[in-house]
Structure 1
Amino acid sequence: MPPRQEPRRSAEPSFPDVAQLGEAIATAIHSTLHPLQRTLLETMYNLKLDKFEGNEGFEGTERWLEHIEKTFRVLHNQGNLLVEKWVETTSWFLSKDSASWWEQELCRLSLVEKTDWDVFRELFRRRFVPPEYIDRKKQEFTELRQGKLTANEYYRRFTDLSRYHPDVAGNPAEMLRRFRLGTKKKWRSMATTTPCDTYQEFYEILLRIEDSENMPSKSEEEEKDENQRNDDKGKGQASLGPRRT
């Protein structure tokens, strides 16, 4: 019986299927151009937002709520967080007591109100920021005067306190009147010569006045130059040795 012959092997190298190769290349390109999106929970965890414990104080409570809202607004503008998810996401950062309070509030709200951020913010402030505190801040805004504050410090304080008086904050003319009334009398008389429509524009004028006052006067500069010349002259004479009499 003749020996069995092995099938001839082709000397040419084997290549993968063209369709499979094209699919692999397309997958690689897609993964490069479209990386895996993080889940909402992963995104919030990486932000490392503080949990609301309830012992932050009135001002700390407002700062916490403002920080949460600003963070959500940035995520929303990036397309990563819908407005309808703001309330639900905030509940992740509530402590046990505050979370229990919110669960009780949910029982009294409609389906639309449960996801309304304005509703949550109003109820949250009403629960953790008493009206007496709001009234005190409103009075502080009304009686605010620049005094020894710099123009920038006065502007920041005025802007921060104005949110406690929404009726005034929504009126540009009244905001300008109150801001101008609280500035230094000397600066106010100097700034009124320049017309402006908003308190932000008046603030820019105050900055220029403040900068001009902080600059050394011409006489002071001349006095420094003269003192420097005298010092240099004295040093030059000393280097020549003792004078002969």
Structure 2
Amino acid sequence: MFLLLQQMMETQRAQAEASQRQSEASHRQIEMLRQSMENSHQLALAAVERVAPGTVQGPTGQQPYQQQSRPGTILDFRKMSSRDFTGTEGILYAYDWLEDVQRSMELAELPRALWVSAAASRFFDIALTWYRTDPRASVRGLTWENFRRLFKEKFFPDVALTALEGQFVGLVQGNSSVDEYAAEFFRLSRFAPDMIQDEGQKARKFRRGLIHAVRTRTSGRRDATFDQILMDVQIAEKDFGLKPKRSEDTMGASSSAGPAKRPHIQQQQQRPFQQQPLLHIQQAPARAHQHQGQGQRQAIQCAFCKKMGHTREDCRMKQGVCLFCGAPDHQVKNCAARAARPAGQDGVQQARGGQQGRAFAMTVEPTQAVVEQIADDSEADCSTYYGLESDGVALDRGLIVEPLDFVLPE
């Protein structure tokens, strides 16, 4: 009897376990079916939304279905932006860092209320000390616009940006290769957008900074674009070996070849991207018949074109007016005042031979000889129209003087 009861209990237990397993399998099948139906429903909604955006409606009385996205976090931002800032990297790094941080926060879809905290999470050293100690920067609830303004005032103020603009104005190839010059051109061009408003201005500014040997390879393509000129000079540099020699290479070759024939001539070290004048021009003492105050005007240097005799506010190149008369309705090649000027009033005196150590004085008004030579040149700039007045120097009307890539002997 006992054995019979035990067998019946085992049979019932086995049936219960089988029923439970079958129930679990049924539940799994139901869940899979529900998930499949939900996925099909979402795909159908997405297909309808692509065909007719805004027409997919939710249940009666509710707004249309919208795809819900998770807001970004500071961790998401740090995954996208790996650049730290210490405050010692320099103006250009600070400028690029701020733009990179804002772009990373936008891509991470970080809430705008967290932007200041996210940017400050990349601060170290001097930058972190500034953020913690400046009461304007550490105030609670600081907006991103005010943070940008304070950051610029601290790490790249307007005077620094003006200096970078001046570097672009005076940028020349110098001892650099074409690729190095082009890289520096791109790096500084963003600080002087007025000078490269179109492709033509950009190409002319780049061409003027090339060394003479390279620039002559593009003389027949006045209407070429920037990319075309860059390709031409890169090919010319490679095929004709026009890359300028480094100062240290020149000096090393001279030392290996023995003493120079003229020991008083020295090769000066030149930094890349730095404009080097062909001649050292000094201001001559004011003569008795010169107008009073001219010496003070000659000591003024324009912050835009880096030429003497006028300020940035008076710079005709910056204003885009006629370089001869200052009128805004025409350019110098169409200037009626220049065409009507009597011959012989060019302000250039005849040369007197046999003089050494001549000193030059910069004049505010352009000389007629220079204006007549380059009035029709589409690449004329403001600096071309500030002539030289001297006691014993004459400008040759048949030549266009251009800076060379070497120093002339004394």
CA distance in 2, matches of 1:38, 1:18: 38
- The percent identity for this pair of structures is 18
User: 1:102 offset after TM fit, Å?
Assistant: 6.8
Question: 2:96 maps to which residue?
Answer: 66
- In the alignment, what sits opposite 1:33? none
RMSD (Å), alpha carbons:
4.0
Alpha-carbon distance in 1 for matches of 2:30, 2:97: 48
- The CA distance in 2 between the partners of 1:74 and 1:114, in whole Å, is 17
The total of aligned residue pairs comes to: 197
Partner of 2:129: 97
Q: For 1:107-186, list aligned pairs within 5 A.
A: 114-116=143-145, 120-186=147-213
Q: Which runs of 5+ in 1 are unaligned?
A: 31-36, 216-245
Shift, 1:42, TM fit: 2.5
Q: Which amino acid aligns with 1:66?
A: D
Q: What is the distance in 1 between the residues matched to 2:135 and 2:197?
A: 34
Instruction: Give, in whole Å, the separation in 2 of the partners of 1:175 and 1:182.
Output: 11
Partners of 1:151 and 1:207 within 8 A in 2: yes
1:190-233 CA deviation, whole Å, 9 max, x = no partner? 21323555423321221122222149xxxxxxxxxxxxxxxxxx
Looking at structure 1, the residues matched to 197 and 153 of structure 2 have their Cα atoms a distance apart, in angstroms, of 22
Question: Is contact 1:176-1:202 (8 Å) kept?
Answer: yes
Q: 1:18 is matched with which residue?
A: 26
CA contact 1:144–1:158 (8 Å) conserved in 2: yes
Matches within 5 A, 1:225-236: none
**C-alpha deviations, 1:5-60, integer Å up to 9, x for none?**
42533496834233335647959xx9xxxxxx896333344457344333x1533x
CA distance in 1, matches of 2:139, 2:228: 48
Change (3 A) 1:71 1:115: closer
Shift of 1:155: 0.4
Q: Which has the higher helix share?
A: 1
Amino acid at match of 1:104: R
Q: 2:218, 2:111 → 1: CA distance?
A: 43
Cα distance in 1 for partners of 2:137, 2:105 equals 26
| TM-score with structure 1 setting the length | 0.61
Alignment check: 8 A CA contact 1:72 1:81 kept: no
What is aligned with 1:204? 231
AA partner of residue 175 (structure 1): K
Distance change (3 Å), C-alpha of 1:103 and 1:71: same
- 2:174 alignment partner, SS class: coil
CA contact (8 A) 2:72 2:108 kept: no
- C-alpha contact 2:131 2:137 (8 A) present in aligned 1: no
Residue 74 and residue 91 in structure 1: after superposition, are their counterparts in 2 closer, same or farther (change >3 A)? closer
Is 2:94–2:156's contact at 8 Å kept on the other side of the alignment?
no
Please state how far the C-alpha of 1:183 moved relative to its aligned partner. 0.8
Q: Is the 8 A contact 1:58 1:133 kept in 2?
A: no
Q: CA deviation at 1:149?
A: 1.4
Contact 2:72 2:110 in 1 (8 A): no
In the alignment, the residues of structure 1 paired with residue 75 and residue 30 of structure 2 have an alpha-carbon distance, to the nearest angstrom, of: 33
How far residue 106 of structure 1 moved from its aligned partner, in angstroms, is 7.8
Q: Tell me by how many angstroms 1:63 deviates.
A: 1.0
Partner of residue 227, structure 1: none
Between 1 and 2, higher relative CO (CA 8 Å, sep ≥ 6) is seen in: 1
Matches of 1:64 and 1:24, distance apart in 2: 54
User: Map of 1:13-92 to 2, 5 A cutoff?
Assistant: 14-15=21-22, 16-21=24-29, 23=31, 40-46=73-79, 49-54=82-87, 56-59=88-91, 62-70=92-100, 72-73=102-103, 76=106, 79-82=107-110, 84=112, 86-92=115-121
- Secondary structure of 1:17 counterpart: helix
- Closer, same or farther: CA 135–156 of 1 in aligned 2, 3 Å: same
**Equivalent residue of 2:108, what SS?**
coil
Distance 1:157 1:124 in 2: 25
Check whether the contact 1:88–1:115 (CA below 8 A) recurs between aligned residues: no
- Residues 179 and 53 (structure 1 numbering): CA distance in 2 closer, same or farther, change over 3 Å? same
1:235 paired residue number: none
Query: Secondary structure of the equivalent of 1:52?
Result: coil
Secondary structure of the residue aligned to 2:82 is coil
